[in-house]
Amino acid sequence: MNTNHRAMIASFALSLLAVRAAFAADVQTKKTEWCEITVPNAVKVGDKVEVRIKLTGLDGKVFLFCDLKDQKHGMVKWGGPPKEMEKGKEAAYSLQVRDVPGVESVYALVYVTRNKDDSWEKALAQTSSPPVKISGRSPLVDLTYKKSWLYLDASNAGKPLVSGDKWEVPVEYYLDPADHFQTTTLGIWGTGPWIDTPDGKYATKRGHISLPGLGGRVDLKEPGRGRHVFTFKVPQDLDLVKKNNRVLLIATLRDSAGQTWPWEHRADASFVRQRGFYEIESDAPGHLFTYAEPVRMAIRLKNVQQPGEKKTLAYTV
């Protein structure tokens, strides 16, 4: 081996040692009775926290969970489904630091369970990484959400809404550049009447009656004026006594951190049930009878084609 070769090998070895030293200086490791966690010392807003976890003290198959939290223990990034692990194995997570206003540091919350579907309360062991300092300032801090607007049209172009029909709900918006960073999400959801005094049987708590299927969202990548049409199916009626079933639609905007804007736009509408060939009616309010009075119901034909038309109705008491 000549002198040049020796010099090249020595230079490479020194470079490798320098890289290892720099890497060691940039990361920190926490050792517990059952695992070792390695994370960076610091990252910038928008960068990813690389988390390495090695199991060192648990026997048998376990499932590993890892989520990224901020200094106030708020969720920053979900780590995904649990990973099957055993003693001696290593797992790696790459978790991005989202643009969360006020974040100063983050940490990895790590725990293991015996079964894949076990909750956090059934954890066999739990720990957290050392704090990772966050640098950089989120542009979301400067957003005021005061220069944009929404308009939700629930009129169905003036046509009656009937259960089962297609319902197109256009939302016009103006997204000002001063209110937008990266992605703004336009969302809509619908709900039924507000129950202020629940009866304990049909409604067990105060709140809106749920109307499944009335919801949607779309990501807006660019600021400016636009229009998006949400398409729903008119839900089934809630009360066979009343003709009109009330529905409330709410349009919202969320920033790139997933935070809902401080204002929203609402619109009311009503729909009727799909009419069949008969109606069950009575003179009693709400079809409610006391134990002392006889039950008298009337079956009234609907949508007959001609006078004298007959239908057969089967029923069970």
Q: Which residue has the tokens 């703004």?
A: 184
d(CA 133, CA 42): 4
What pTM was computed for the model? 0.54
Closest among 256, 247, 243 to 167, alpha carbons compared: 247
Q: Domains, the chain, ranges and CATH?
A: 3-140 (2.60.40.1930), 149-272 (2.60.40.2550)
The region, left, alpha or beta by phi > 0 then psi within -120 to 50, assigned to residue 17 is: alpha
Question: What's the chain's length in residues?
Answer: 317
Digits of tens for pLDDT over the chain (317 positions)?
A: 555 656 555 555 444 444 343 344 599 999 999 999 999 999 998 789 999 999 999 889 999 999 999 999 999 999 999 999 999 999 999 998 877 777 899 999 999 999 999 988 999 999 999 999 999 877 777 788 999 999 999 999 888 888 888 999 999 999 999 999 889 999 999 998 787 777 777 667 787 777 888 999 999 999 999 999 999 999 887 654 467 888 999 999 999 878 899 999 999 998 887 766 666 778 887 778 888 888 888 877 766 667 777 777 777 76
